[in-house]
Structure 1
Amino acid sequence: MAIECRMWRIFAIPLVLFHLIQVATSDCDYSKCVDLHVDFYHQPIVDAELVQCCANLKDLCDKTRCPLKPVACKEEFHEVAVKKGVCCDEYMCAPPKDRCIVRINGRAVLKNLGDTWDSDDPCTKHICDYGMDGKAQEKTYKEYCYHTCNNEYQLKLIPGQCCGQCVQTRCKFNDTLYSVGETWKSEDRCVLYECTKKDDTVAVATYSKQCPKLPTCNKRDIYIKDCCQYCNPRHSMRHSNNKSLDTDDEDYNSYEKHPCKRPCTEGSQPMVCRYKFIIEWYETLSKACFNCPFNATDCFRPHCITGDGSRRSVLVVNRKMPGPAIDVCQGDTIVVDVENNLLGETTTIHWNGLHQRRTPYMDGVPLISQCPISQEQTFRYTFYADNAGTHFWHSHTGVQRGDGALGPLIVRCPPSEDVHYKLYDYDKAEHLMILQDWTTLTGISMFNAHHHSSGDNKPKNILINGRGRFLNAPVTKMVVEDDSEMDLAASSSMVDPTSIPMTTTTDSATETTTYTTEATSRTTTESIPETTQRATTDATTTTETQTVSSGIYVDPKDDFGFMHDNNDPTMKTLPHAQERHTYVRNKRETPVDAYTTYLNESQHIPFQVYYVVHDKKFRFRLINAEFLNCPMEMSIDNHTLLVIASDGSEIEPIEIDTLVSYAGERFDFIVHANQKPGNYWIRVKGLMDCDQRFTSAHQVAILRYFGADEKDPKDPPKYDHVRGGRQLNALNRGMEDRTTISIAEMTNAYRDPDNGVLQKEPDFKFYVYYDFYAKNNTNFHVGGLYGFNEVLLNSQRRYTPQLNHISMKLPTFPLMPARHMIDDNQFCNSSTLANRGINCRTEFCECSHVLQVPLNAIVELVLIDEGFTFDANHPFHLHGSSFHVIGMERLAGNVSAEIVQELDRSGKLYRRLKGAPLKDTVTIPDGGYTIIRFRADNPGYWLFHCHIEFHAEIGMSLVFKIGEHDEMLPVPVNFPTCSDYTPEISDSTRSSSIHQTTASILLLIISIFLLRCFP
């Protein structure tokens, strides 16, 4: 109706005006007329008249033409408003004047005056109020926060609140701030404090030291250590100069309380961390072990190395195996003085995982970065903890790593720089898992027997943190007769080795009584089967022990026993950390032979135990330190592993059931203790040379829930135990296997940290292939005497592992510090040898194998395991840099290098560039390939080698020369040098010697003459 009325007016006015113009006379002066302004709504026009030649509109109201009032408005909550006119009223839909129409969550809502409401932004408030026009309208107000939190508090946003509140995140104690999980001790070391968090409440928990019961003791023999009284009449061992030798733990160079072992916080000052490493030959189950393994607490004494119970020589640092841990913060400076106490041997230490970018002469590779450290010499390694992660140090000379010269090197970063920090609750030093393959012979004995005779190279056992049992031993009952009783203190720091009371033993054969300061006893065996060569029985000893526990309550994140003062139900006894008195019936047997002793003692070696708290998440760090070909499969019964890092580089988390690791690899994983509290096996199974075809080497440790009974899991550990599910880094499998996850399928946590390396094409590409070859390697096969095909027994033939048919021969001087002595002609590779007409496929080639690349070049290696001779496996390690793993595949049981190169030329080798993980050690599937990339930005000479010691020592390696000599860092001042000394003996030298002799004779004659003439 309103529309029709408007249309009528629009057309009516022009018609009226046209009519007036027609009737107007021609003498009208239109310029004097007033412009007509028409209100179409209020003045309906029905007629007009002329007034003095000018048109004048005349209002004549016809209400029949006015619009009707609408019944309702289409818009929600709107009302019909009326605007009065002279003739007709105007109607419109408008919001109510005293209420607001607002939209909340997409819907229209009617609010009364004074109503308030919130929005998605808790800092923005809404209110229905009058506006400037007197109508109700929605108004918004912004809330501003002015909170200031104290140092131990942090502002925490709370859902639905704008300003949040100050929440305590750290503990303040004596004006010092501590992070959650951080512990500290009182000045008298009698009380341990911990900053704890429970139910979002941060508080300081107190643990009081509970001392063992003091036996009857003379007052003069009582001494105080860590606020507890102990009895030891010979606590101070005295030298001939009458100076006391303190027996404190720190003097053993264990560094368990090193000041650099601290929480790493953002903005903290870096420290200089000093260590003293004394490397020497030592012995398992030495006199330092007292009655270990039959008294388990003795096995944890300082300098007691158990191994698996076999009595053999070991080559260790500070009489520990594994050696002392270096645990520092990123940015610290590490200073290690290595003192060589070996008899007639040299040594070096390599810091596996640290790339030595600013200190290339500290890499620890003999005749590449330094001269070997001679006997009685000390070499100071000084380098920086640049890259955080799980690393390890080990001897890089001969096969010394296999004899025990190794230890952990952990570099921690602040929580703000740990991309996985929120995934776990605890990252404790005791959750470290170092795996070793183990033999009853020393490494050099095995090496010589294997290469020069018929000896094998198969590890017999596996150790976890330096200990384990020989689980494949047959069991035979042993009867123990109780001859005496003695009181042994469990803590290694509590009792001096010379203070054990006298005990009496009776030998049944002689019926005589002997007195000794070492615990001994008589044993007899039953049902010992005879063999043609030696007894193979296990002497399982029946023991009677009475343990008097101190009843101490222990914090699950500390290493020693303290009483927990809080009423916290999760804080129960941690048996491994308790100090106790154990009354042990003497049980050291008189063995039938050494092997029977080994079997008997091995069954009493205490397993490694890892303690966890129910429903908490713990970060574990695994280091595979094996030295032979024994890849290891690890799993935890009823638990999965969340892998978050490898070789010190973070990856996107992968949840798996079993993890395979190879020599030199490290993995960080999280264990969620979400099962029924109890004891669970941690299983480690050896593969390759350790599998069921050879030795079935395997080992176990225990995952023990806090508060669970101190006992082994029910089912006995067996090699053939099968754990299904997802497996990471499976043996000889690559990206082609969809049932497992290969290293190349992991994703870097930082996605593409260096897009330049992961460009489509590298600057240099090298094909490095290898296998075992039947050649007369003159190191152990001399043609014409005992050549490869001339020896009598097949077991005496030794195939030679080579890279591109070349065996590495190190120079006689260290390449990096003595580079001025280098003649490039002494280097070789497949191209230079081919140019000289040498066919290394048929000849045995041994030389300094070097690949040269310019500084900052992008290098790609296609590593090929041809796999024709054995079904084997080789992990490779690069010094001086990490690399991206961009491809891995097993093509067949064996494959030639030529086929792989042809597949690559035709674009059939798959490369996964985006998110490729970073590693410094990687395996290559047998009959397949692995592709790695790195940027050559660390100038120097860097070793690339198989991490199986027997292979590396006979030449399965090469050297990268990165950059030119003038681009390498200067040699440190007074850096030691070494080289051959072979001066030539010339005719002039002989003539000079004759003249000197003649002159001496003449001088002697003259002297005699003068003496006679002038007495």
Structure 2
Amino acid sequence: MGNAASIQGRSVSIPSELETRATHRTGTYSRTSLGGGLSQSKTNGKSVLGTVDAPEYPYFMTNNPTPNGYPWSKLNAHTNYYKTHPNTGVIRKYDFTIARGTIAPDGYELEGILVNGAFPGPTIEANWGDIIQVTVHNALEDEGTSLHWHGFLQTDTPWEDGVPGITQCPIAPGKSFTYQIVAEMYGTGWYHSHYSAQYAAGTLGPIVIHGPRDKRDYDVDVGPILLNDWYHEEYFDLVETVMSPTGFVLSDNNLINGKNNFNCSTLAADDTTTCNSQAGLSKFKFKKGKVHRLRLINAGAEALQRFSIDGHTLTVIANDFIQVVPYDTKVVTLGIGQRVDVLVKANGKLDAYWMRANISSPCSLARQPNALAAIYYDKADQTKQPASTAWDVPDPETCTNDDLALTVPVMKLPLPAAELTYDMTVETFVNGSGINLFKFDGVDFRANYNSPTLLLAKLGEDDFEDQWNVRSTGTAKSVRVNVINNTPIPHPVHLHGFNMYILHEGAGAWDGTIINRNNPMRRDVIQVQGNGHVVIQFDAAGNPGVWPFHCHIAWHVSAGFLVQFATNPKKIEKYRIPNTVAETCRQWGKWTKSNIPLQIDSGL
């Protein structure tokens, strides 16, 4: 293959040694140092994730009322959480400042956009049924921001979803906005900026919602493990490149909880950036013989991740916020935005093991696709690197999630009849400026930050600008969407406000088959393969609002891959939207009178 590789249907030139890694089986790595040459404050700011000081998590937070021994009383893993959830009356308050800060997660120093000076940002923790209240202060001088609470349904509170131009105006520089979110579901989530591709600069963090467990128990909750591709350019420069006529970007590294080493000797001679190859790896402690819960999160901008632990079987117990009937695997695949909770028993014979995250190079654009972290059993020497061997599990190169037949929700829900069906094609095209964009259902989306769709729908508006790509579902109770991917590129598609029933996915056209009609898999992100399809359904009328449905690859939504569903619009008109939402728009409008936002992409 020389120095050319075909990735996502593009011909890409990458160094030959990196191309060799790109065709690896799970765990083909050169030897690496544990590093540690830089302090945590230099690499990840104020974050403790990835260090042995990171806290373990309880079964639930004990400062709640606990009727019948649990904050959720007698509700259990089989309770229909779409209809019933606890109302604990407990408010979990967080105060977040979004500001620029210098970090070096892999030793390469650059300016990021951080939450409270940390990358990854602070963990939000609550019990099922709590209210999470987050006050966000925008300390950026020259751009807006927002935070989206990924996977949260926001039932009857769509203005809390955090999407500028759709559910709110951006938070203006120097201003604040308080989100109030009900923990309607439980499990592992995350938050991230939804302003352009800002979260690629580090504006993200994990969420842990404690709730009832099914039969499979565990001894130790290790907590969040974030996997993300990392870039050595600032996010706006990346967007500029992507939005240029010949633009695409490759990630420079892959991180586990914000850490990995980088070979600084590969930098160009004229790159004067501070770089330290011994930045250090994330470390985890396992208790021998105990079962550990790991909360995996793909918090990346573009990369499909394959996660494994040498010599250890992973028991999958949840996909996104949905508990599933447990099944075993050696490798877990996560598209961007997806979460997978796994149980791992520390029953190995060695005292240290490698944890691995591989960017699936046939599916993603990566210069260095491999990330390592070290797991130490009790009393192991944490200065020595593990000597474990990776599983020999070749990448299937399909860019898809696990077989839908394997993923069966614990809380059973039969598929309702669809009252409205869409066939939505994904296509690429070149606009008049020579820029490659996406059309979703025939439109390349572009937001208007000053005119959020939800606020217009509240006023009875139903004649939206074409580029806002709004589809009204009327009073349809359940809506089916056949996503027809007419590009060779795989996409993680994400629906806000709902858990999608996943009916079918595959290559080519859908043949009408539905997998597990009596209890189909549900989740909020699903992979659609290149030149393939995915068929989803959602119960639209039950959550009136304006909800984005988009590719979660940051550069793809920047290039227009988004449609909005206006669900049950007559009920949107009856909402009493807090005055603070309109005030945020007044503040943004005032700021934009003397400042021009650099919206060179779709805005999201």
- Whole-Å separation in 1 of the counterparts to 2:362 and 2:249: 8
Q: Which aligned pairs between 1:308-323 and structure 2 lie closer than 5 A?
A: 308-323=106-121
1:423 is aligned, of 217, 231, 243, to 217
Query: What SS is found at the alignment partner of 2:454?
Result: coil
> Offset of 1:942 from its aligned partner?
0.7
> How far apart are residue 814 of structure 1 and its match?
1.3
Give me the whole-angstrom Cα distance separating, in 2, the residues matched to 1:826 and 1:272: 37
In the aligned structure 1, how far is the partner of 2:498 from the partner of 2:54? 28
**How many percent identity over aligned positions?**
26
SS in 1 for 2:190: strand
Out of 58, 61, 67, the residue aligned to residue 262 of structure 1 is 61
Residue pair 1:848, 1:958 contacting (<8 A) in 2 also: yes
In the alignment, does 2:111 pair up with 1:281? no
Partner of 1:328: 126
Shift of 1:934: 1.4
SS at match of 2:221: coil
SS at match of 2:233: coil
Q: CA RMSD in A?
A: 3.0
In 2, are the aligned partners of 1:460 and 1:690 still within 8 Å (CA)? no
In structure 2, distance between residues paired with 1:686 and 1:821: 45
Question: Which residue identity lines up with residue 724 of structure 1 in the other structure?
Answer: V
Number of residues of Structure 1 aligned to a counterpart in Structure 2: 515
Evaluate the alpha carbon distance shift between residue 460 and residue 743 of structure 1 in structure 2; reply closer, same or farther with a 3 A threshold. farther
Shift of residue 887 of structure 1? 0.7
Identify the residue that residue 924 of structure 1 maps to in structure 2: 528
Partner of 1:763: 419
Q: Cα offset for 1:823?
A: 4.1
Q: Distance in 2 between matches of 1:411 and 1:813?
A: 33
Out of 455, 459, 463, the residue aligned to residue 817 of structure 1 is: 455
**Equivalent residue for 2:290?**
616
Q: What is the letter of the counterpart of residue 557 of structure 2? A: A
Q: Could you tell me which residue of structure 2 aligns to residue 882 of structure 1?
A: 499
The corresponding residue for 2:559 is: 954
Deviations, residues 598-652 of structure 1 (Å, cap 9, x unaligned): 2xx12x2221111111111101000101112x11111111111000001110011
Aligned equivalents of 1:678, 1:382: Cα separation in 2:
44
Give the counterpart of 1:858 among 478, 482, 485: 478
Quote how far apart the aligned CAs of 1:762 are.
Answer: 1.2
Are positions 1:681 and 2:354 aligned together? yes
Deviations 1:216-237 (A, max 9, x none): xxxxxxxxxxxxxxxxxxxxxx
In structure 1, how many angstroms separate the alpha carbons of the residues matched to 2:182 and 2:386?
47
Deviations 1:402-429 (A, max 9, x none): 000000111101xxx3114x4322224x
Q: Residue 354 of structure 2 contacts residue 386 of structure 2 at CA under 8 Å; is this kept in 1?
A: no
The equivalent residue for 1:444 is 236
Cα distance per residue 1:144-183 (max 9 Å; x no partner): xxxxxxxxxxxxxxxxxxxxxxxxxxxxxxxxxxxxxxxx
Displacement of 1:722 after TM fit? Answer: 6.2
2:492 partner amino acid:
P
Distance 2:232 2:147 in 1: 24
Other-structure match for 1:806: 443
Amino acid at match of 1:262: M
Provide Cα deviations, 1:281-336, integer angstroms capped at 9, x if missing partner: 1111xxxxxxxxxxxxxxxxxxxxx4111110000010000111111111111111
- CA distance in 1 between counterparts of 2:402 and 2:461 reads 46
1:151-300 alignment, distance < 5 Å: 262-263=61-62, 265=66, 266-268=69-71, 269-284=88-103
- Whole-angstrom CA distance in 1 between matches of 2:517 and 2:58: 42
Equivalent residue number for residue 667 of structure 1: 340
1:765 partner letter: T
Stretches of structure 2 lacking an aligned partner (at least 5 in a row): 1-45, 72-87, 591-604
How far apart are 1:744 and its partner, in Å? 5.5
- Determine the structure 1 residue equivalent to 2:328: 655
**Match in the other structure for 2:377:** 705
Q: Is the 8 A contact 2:546 2:567 kept in 1?
A: yes
Q: Deviations over 1:489-533 (max 9, x none)?
A: xxxxxxxxxxxxxxxxxxxxxxxxxxxxxxxxxxxxxxxxxx9x5
1:724 to 383, 393, 397: 393
Task: Give yes or no for contact 1:446–1:455 (8 Å, CA) kept in 2.
Answer: no
Equivalent position of 1:639 in the other structure: 312
Match of 1:479 in 2: none
- Map 1:347-426 → 2, pairs under 5 A: 347-413=145-211, 417-420=212-215, 422-426=216-220
Out of 935, 939, 944, the position equivalent to 2:549 is 944
State the distance in 2 between where 1:408 and 1:462 align: 18
Give the secondary structure class of the aligned counterpart of 1:281.
Answer: strand
Stretches (4+) displaced over 3 A: 254-261, 263-270, 453-456, 472-475, 688-691, 711-717, 820-823, 909-912, 965-968, 977-982
What per-residue deviation string (whole Å, max 9, x for no partner) do you get for residues 892-933 of structure 1?
xxxxxxxx3xx64xx4x4443122111001110112111111
Q: How far has the Cα of 1:827 moved from its partner?
A: 4.8
Query: Residue type of the partner of 1:969?
Result: Y
| One-letter amino acid matched to 1:959 | Q
> Does the Cα contact within 8 Å between 2:242 and 2:555 map onto a contact in 1?
no
Q: For 1:514-573, what per-residue CA distance to the aligned partner results, in whole angstroms no more than 9, with x for missing partners?
A: xxxxxxxxxxxxxxxxx9x517xxxxxxxxxxxxxxxxxxxxxxxxxxxxxxxxxxxxxx
Aligned to 1:459, which of 251, 261, 280? Answer: 251
What's the TM-score once normalised by structure 1's chain length?
A: 0.48
Helix, strand or coil: the match of 1:402?
Answer: helix
User: Does the alignment pair 1:963 with 2:568?
Assistant: yes
Separation in 2, partners of 1:448, 1:659 = 33
Higher relative contact order at CA 8 Å, sep ≥6: structure 1 or structure 2? 2
Q: Distance in 1 between matches of 2:227 and 2:96?
A: 21
Segments of 5+ residues of structure 1 without an aligned counterpart are 1-246, 285-305, 476-530, 536-592, 735-739, 782-787, 789-797, 829-846, 892-899, 983-1015
Does the 8 Å CA contact 1:690/1:696 hold for their aligned counterparts? no
Q: Give 1:450 deviation, angstroms.
A: 3.1
Shift in CA distance, 764/458, structure 1 to aligned 2, threshold 3 Å: same
Q: Which residue of 2 aligns with 1:345?
A: 143
Where does residue 410 of structure 2 map in the other structure? 749
Tell me, yes or no, if the aligned pair for 2:260 and 2:281 is still in contact at 8 Å: yes
1:391 touches 1:408 (CA, 8 Å); kept in 2?
yes
**Following the alignment from structure 1 to structure 2, what is the Cα–Cα distance between the partners of residues 741 and 733?**
10
Query: Paired residue for 2:261?
Result: 469
| Cα displacement (A) at 1:976 | 2.1
Deviations 1:840-864 (A, max 9, x none): xxxxxxx121121134611111111
1:674 and 1:261, CA in 2 relative to 1: closer, same or farther beyond 3 A? closer
CA distance in 2, matches of 1:636, 1:271: 37
- 8 Å CA contact retained: 2:301, 2:554: yes
Please report how far the alpha carbon of residue 458 of structure 1 lies from its aligned counterpart in structure 2 after TM superposition. Answer: 0.9
CA distance in 2, matches of 1:684, 1:313: 25
Under a length normalisation based on structure 2, what TM-score does the superposition of the two structures give? 0.79
C-alpha distance in structure 1 between counterparts of 2:375 and 2:356, whole Å: 10
Contact 2:226 2:257 in 1 (8 A): yes
Q: Partners in 1 of 2:517 and 2:59 — Cα distance?
A: 38
Residue deviations 1:205-252, cap 9 Å, x none?
xxxxxxxxxxxxxxxxxxxxxxxxxxxxxxxxxxxxxxxxxx9x9xxx
* 1:716 CA drift (Å): 9.7
Instruction: Specify the code of the residue in structure 2 equivalent to 1:772.
Output: T
